Structure 1
Amino acid sequence: MTYDPYAALPEVPSFTLTSTSFTDGGRLALPQIAGMIGTGGGDRLPQLSWSGAPEGTRSFAVTCYDPDAPTASGFWHFAAYNLPADTTSLDEGAVTLDQAAESFPAEASLLRNDGGIAGFVGSAPPPGHGDHRYMFVVHALDVDALELDALASPGLLGFQMFGHTIGRARITGIFGH
């Protein structure tokens, strides 16, 4: 049985999330692999597009989580929140290790990932650890903005979204050594 961290959350309507960077269940490409640890990757957020968010959506949060990391808490690769309700996509590379590109919504905020960087850190399972799942999730929220401190964790973001998530879309990429 494979652990699904989203199975424990209250059920909400799903909507569609796709990517031109990878297919659901497909392998992540080199741009989405960690470069900061010498693997030659690009640490580039993949392109993401979503549609069909539920009526009443007032903002979005976007996260990337690896439940297969060899820790008791998985590994958060990316967390952004307060994306405007009219946002329907993010370009590949809209966020990298420590910066957001001009195409990233100015109203949105980035949290530090589990690597300690406010940005996207690519996949980097330990050698010999096998394939890991990288769950990219867009959360439709019923509030215009969440109030979080810049030092908040992605886990705290999840707690703050509880009770405000009215829809969720997910696509999963795979990578391993």
Structure 2
Amino acid sequence: MGTDTCALGPYRADLVETYWRWEQDPALLVGYGRQAPESLEARTEGMTHQLRGENIRFTIYRLDSGEPVPAGVATLLPDHAVRTAEYIIMLAPEARGHGLGTQATRLTLDYAFHITNLRMVWLKVLAPNKAGIRAYEKAGFRAAGNLREAGYWLGQTCDEVIMDAIAGEFDGPSVVKSLLARK
């Protein structure tokens, strides 16, 4: 499922070392508010659990160089009882700043609302992460509130911004709907 420059594909066990490398990037550690890196062994062990879980995970691919190149991971953590999910995205350092996060987020929301039939998707983002907030807004998320001093950014406490996207407000082009219209 994708656009001309971005696609979502299966989460892949053979990419565990690539995912792990991205997760050790200092900017990603700061963005997630984590203080410690993870070993490749621990990540590999965690991958086995993730592949069997009920969460919806995609590998994000860049398509601008001809061949699909893995560039990140998009995850939905669904709560099926209420048809909602938390959204988490991770982009490779070299993939940031090109609009790929916005495109991947829109594709994930498209899937969430038109395939999984979720009614709402939400996320948390650290308040100082202005670029992330802008990308989420462009993709269809709106600010819903703050968790005061719930996170850390460069060693300082900061707010976490809660954002949500609702199926009824998801507008613009839908890859899912255009694929189904062709059949």
TM normalised by structure 1 equals 0.27
TM normalised by structure 2 equals 0.27
Q: Of the two, which has the highest radius of gyration?
A: 2
Higher helix share: 2
Name which structure has the greater RCO, CA cutoff 8 Å, separation 6+.
Answer: 1
